[in-house]
Structures are given as C-alpha cells and as structure tokens.
Amino acid sequence: MELRSYIIRRLLFLIPVLFGVTIFIFGITMLFSPIERASLYVTDARQMTNIPQLIETYGLDQPFWVQYGNWISEVFSGNLGWSRVVGMPVGDAIWAFLPATLELSIFATPIIILMGIFLGTKAAAHKDRPLDHGTRVMAIFGWSLPTFWLGLILMMVFYGYFTGLLPPSRLSIPMELVVNSASFIRYTHINTIDAILNLKGAVFLDALRHLILPVITLSVTQVAFIMRLMRSSMLESLGKGYILTARAKGLSERVVVNKHARRNALIPVITVAGYVFAGMVNGVVITETIFTYKGLGWWAWQSAVRLDIASVLGFALFNSVLFVLVNLVVDILYTRVDPRVRLGGVMQ
C-alpha cells in the first residue's frame, strides 16, 4: 500500500518535469523556419508536398504558446511527425527500430552489470595487489576509450584481418532471406528470440555472430564505469565494523566478501543505474552507426545528419520519457535493497 502511493506520488511528480521537457524540445524547434517545422505535424507522405497548408492548419506563424498547444495535443494523440529518413511517421519508426536496439541491450545489459560487479568485487578483495592494479588501469583505459574508435578497431581486426569472421549489420544476406520468408514468424522482431521460437539454429548463430562486436563495443565503457564504482563502494563496505563481526563469526573470506560486503556495496551502485542507462543510449547511437546495425541509434544518427528534425526530437522525447521512468524504477528498487530507506524519505 505504501509502495503504491509512493509510485503514484512519484508519477505525479513527473508531470512538471515532462512539461518542461516538452517546452524545451519545442523551444529547439523554434530555431527553425515554419517550413522546416512543418514536418513535425506530417502524418503521411502526401502531406509533405503541401507544406503551406500545414503552416496554415497548425498556425506555425502564431505565437509560441499557441503553437506549443497545437503541438502537444498532436503529440498526445500519438502524432510525433514525419521521419524523412525512413519515410514513415516518427512513432512508427520508433516502434520499427526498437526491437533491434532492444536485442542489443538484452545482451549488453547482463554483461555490463555482471562483469562490472564481478570485476569490482575482485579488485576490492585484492586491494593493492597486482589484480587490483591491473583491473584499475584497465578501467581507466576503458573509461577513456572513444567508443567509435574501439568499434572501428574491433572491426578492423575481426572483420578485416580475420576475413568476415564477425561482420557488421544485423544478419547476413542469406539469413535475412530466411527471416523475411513467409514461414518464419516474427513474434518479437528480435532476431535471436524469433530464431529460437522458430527453431532455426542457423539464424540464431548468425544473429549472435553479428551481435558480438556491437555488444563488446557497447559494454566496455559501462563495465569500466560500474567496476570503478563497485570497487570503491566495496572498499568502503569492507572497512565497516560488520565485516569484522562477520570474520569473528568464523565465516570464510568468500562469504564475508560475497555476502556481507557485496550486498551493502551494491546500494550505491544501484543509484547510478540511471546513468548507466543514459550511457547505454549514448553508446547505442555510436555503436549502431559504426556497425550499420539498424536500430534506434542508427535511425537517430541518420536523421541528425540529414537534419530530419522531427525524427531527432521525437527520439529525444522518447528517450527522456524512458529515462525518467528508468530513474523512477531505480528509486523503487533502491528502497527494496536498502531496508533503512523509508519510501517517504526519498522525496524531499
């Protein structure tokens, strides 16, 4: 009961934030001429030929607040504008590109979380010994790596040097044909999952082969980030009195570290899950661009380069809503992990 009222309160709290976000986004569009802005309101290809009429209908020469009102009511009715890059409404484009990005995150997220926590724990447990120094230097390197460059280098080696071993894009052409054939049912549009559901091993392996490099590229920076945080958080927790108590009980070092210290060390790590999500969204744009992996990030890049403003802003709006929701989930999760946090206490 307490949890439900807390969630409701937090959701209400989101309204002013999202109001500000939409004003901000719409403010950006005001940098454009009414002709360019018209694409924000287009719902099908035919309308693109009749821009002056759109300016008339939506009052694009009216004052800011009138325009904002028109725009926001369009957004609420599900119209985010027209994506020139792919020739479909922005809402449809997001829906169409989402599965590819989801597939990437499904593989990258567990790697990021588990590797980061595992390496951070190990480094802290071996503080000031070679393993710690090694992982620490690796983490600083990983954190400093330009993601796009890492992707190129990986491709140079695993696609160029080992000819065609781990190719870019989502699927190789023969498998693309299988996936698009009538007998292959697209349950989710997530290739690996669909392949399993259709019992097509070859498609699954091919999809996996195309996923390896993007997943590595996407994960390295985030693993380094979580690892560093986990290490310092573990060190703090290992210095606490309850660790001495646990050792004095006769518990083995493994239980002391993995149970007593880690559970406490995870609390600050959970609070930055939102940052990790944001970092992944940034990484997705770069990764998908390099590997021509056609997901949301690739689409956003194409739109930005071709100055397709409706798509870029639609994508930004979509992400900010998602980001705000992720932060809400993180806060709720936080109250579950740390018994000391009272639900009301998170609000100011």
Residues 226-265 that bind another protein (CB under 8 A): 232, 235-236, 240-242, 244-252, 260, 263-264
Are 310 and 81 in contact by the 8 Å Cβ rule? The answer is: yes
Q: Is 132 in the site for another protein (CB under 8 A)?
A: no
The H or E element containing residue 175 is helix 173-180
106 binds another protein (CB under 8 A): no
Considering only residues 187 to 216 of the shown chain, the ones binding another protein according to CB under 8 A are none
Stretch that binds another protein, among 87-95, 107-115, 196-204, 284-292 (CB under 8 A): 284-292
Contact 186, 198 (CB under 8 A): no
Q: How far apart are the first and last CA of the chain?
A: 20
Instruction: Give yes or no for residue 118 binding another protein (CB under 8 A).
Output: no
> In the bound complex, what is the minimum distance in angstroms from residue 293's beta carbon to another protein?
14
CA–CA separation, 222 vs 112, rounded Å?
A: 6
- The smaller minimum CB distance to another protein, of residues 197 and 235, is found at 235
Residues 6+ apart with CB under 8 A from 340: none
Q: How far is the CB of 176 from another protein (least distance, A)?
A: 21
* Contact window for another protein (CB under 8 A) among 72-80, 117-125, 182-190, 319-327: 319-327
Q: How far is the CB of 192 from another protein (least distance, A)?
A: 25
Task: Confirm if 306 and 85 have CB atoms less than 8 A apart.
Answer: yes
Segment lying near another protein (by CB under 8 A), choices 18-26, 64-72, 116-124, 180-188: 18-26
At how many degrees (to 10) do helices 273-290 and 309-337 cross? 140
Among 7, 32, 62, 88, binds another protein (CB under 8 A): 32
Structure tokens at 49: 């030929």
Nearer to another protein, 57 or 245 (CB): 245
Q: Tell me phi and psi for residue 82, to 5 degrees.
A: -115, 130
